[in-house]
Amino acid sequence: MTTSPAPLLGYPRSDGRVGIRDVVAVVYLVECARVVADAIAAGRDDVHVIGFGGCYPSAYAYRMLEQLCTHPNVGAVVLVSLGCEGFDREALARTVAASGRPVTTLVIQALGGTRSTVARGRAWVDATRARSARGRMVPFDLADLVAGTICGGSDGTSGITANPVVGRVFDRLVAAGGTAVFEETGELIGCEHHMAERAVTAELGAQIVGRVEKAAAYYTAMGHGSFSPGNAEGGLTTLEEKSLGAYSKSGSGPIHGVVTPGQPIPAPGLYLLDVVPEGPPRWGFPNINDNAEIAELVAAGSHVVLFTTGRGSVVGSAVSPVVKICANPETYRRMSEDMDVDAGRILEGREGIDDVADEVLDLLHAVAGGRPTASEELGHREFVLTYKSSEPTGPACLPTVR
């Protein structure tokens, strides 16, 4: 592995994990509180807004925000409540406080409205930031890292260049003792039996096949697969063709488990995040866009997300940096300011998959050490969380075999 010898320093958390960023999360607990949350965070690069827009309670949204508020990249939390929404703000505040993080809950109705709540929030963030600046940092290495991956704006080049590069990075990260998460069973339709052969137990393999079949049934009920018009314009013809390209992001190593959104990853290894709900479709598509998936990868514990794109995406994320790996050389030339890595040079025969994987590992090291990614520098902190039903997986999906 060609990582730089410089030791990495990160932010220690009480659960033993180490953050590569020290973000203050300002969390709106209903859409009615979002503008107040935005105003509390305005103008501060290390204060990120996340939240849930719905007024009715959702066990899924609760688990997601619980994981995000106790994510290693988050150092302090401001909960912003209108006052009458269904979200259990007291329970979330208790969980965050128990994790050792500073937390405050601002209830807009009780504080007298917009201006007073914003002023209170900004003052709390200032005071908390001043204290956290004196905190100690601890050494860590790639074995402590969790990396997620997603492809967005895929085209015919994604599965040839950027996705196999991520696969190679994942193989090496997991071999080094780290953790890697890939996702979207609906984008793995056609690859289920190959994945099952990579599962560390036969029972896990059967779970994977069943979960992909569930995804196929779900998307069929939705009317079409996870396949956008831009995918076809970029040269991808069928869902299974897109799948085999997407699948190459998972590398070639053993698959150690399956988790669902809002469920933390229990041990190092390679994991499939099954984002498709159980049972009949209830609230529409499993994820309405790439950022809803990124939020789930981050909630799973990803310190960083490797985002491959052929057509070109500009998005980043709240909480965790997004590294953009561009598969298509023409897209890279057109949108280079939004990209971190030019994997299209593989297509043109200028370099091999391993060369670009080396570059990504070096970059991963640098980003873990604090270097901002393109999307961070450009201010991208997208966050999407909607209604969904999801159930945590059980022992069949989480064998302890390594």
Partner 1 sequence: MSGTAGTPAADGPYDLLLLAAGDDVAVAVRDLAAGPWRTSDGRVLRTSGPVRLGHKVAVRDIAAAEHVVRSGMSIGSATAPVAAGDWVHTHNLRSDYIVTFAHRGGEA
Comparing CB distances to partner 1, the nearer of 163 and 320 is 163
Residue-level length of the chain? 402
Give me the least distance between CB of 244 and partner 1, in Å please: 5
Of the pair 144, 290, the CB lying nearest partner 1 is at: 290
Angstrom distance (rounded) from CA 269 to CA 274: 16
For residue 249, the minimal CB distance to partner 1 (Å) is 14
- Distance, CA of 242 to CA of 49 (rounded, Å): 32
CB of 98 or CB of 217, closer to partner 1: 217
Smallest distance, Å, CB 57 to partner 1? 33
- Report the residue number, 194 or 371, with the smaller CB distance to partner 1: 194
CA–CA dist 196, 210 (Å, integer): 10
What does DSSP assign to residue 258? E
Question: Toward partner 1, which CB reaches closer, 163 or 179?
Answer: 163
Question: What's the CA gap between 257 and 180, in Å, rounded?
Answer: 11
CB of 386 to partner 1, least distance (A): 21
Query: Measuring CA to CA, how many Å separate 63 from each of 70, 79, 138, 263, 323?
Result: 11, 15, 28, 7, 25
Task: Tell me how far apart the alpha carbons of residues 97 and 158 are, in angstroms, rounded to a whole number.
Answer: 42
Closer CB to partner 1, 16 or 349, in the complex? 349
- Give 37 or 189: the residue with its C-beta nearer to partner 1: 189
Cβ-based nearer residue to partner 1, 38 or 241: 241
CA distances from 44 to 5, 24, 26, 357 (A): 31, 10, 11, 33
Cβ-based neighbours of 318, under 8 Å, separated by 6 or more: 23, 25, 48, 49, 50, 295, 298, 381, 382, 383
Coil vs helix vs strand at 191: coil
Q: For the chain, what percentages of helix, strand and coil (3-state, to nearest 5) are there?
A: 40, 15, 40
State the minimum distance, in angstroms, from the CB of residue 234 to partner 1.
5
Residues that bind partner 1 (CB under 8 A): 155-157, 159-160, 189-191, 194, 216, 219-220, 224-225, 227-229, 231-241, 244-245, 310, 328, 330, 347-349
> CA 27, CA 313: separation in Å to the nearest integer?
25
Q: How far is the CB of 214 from partner 1 (least distance, A)?
A: 13
Q: Which H/E stretch holds residue 162? A: helix 162-175
- Nearest approach, Cβ of 230 to partner 1 (angstroms)? 9
**Residues 302 and 147 sit within 8 Å (Cβ to Cβ):** yes
Q: CB 236 → partner 1: shortest distance, Å?
A: 8
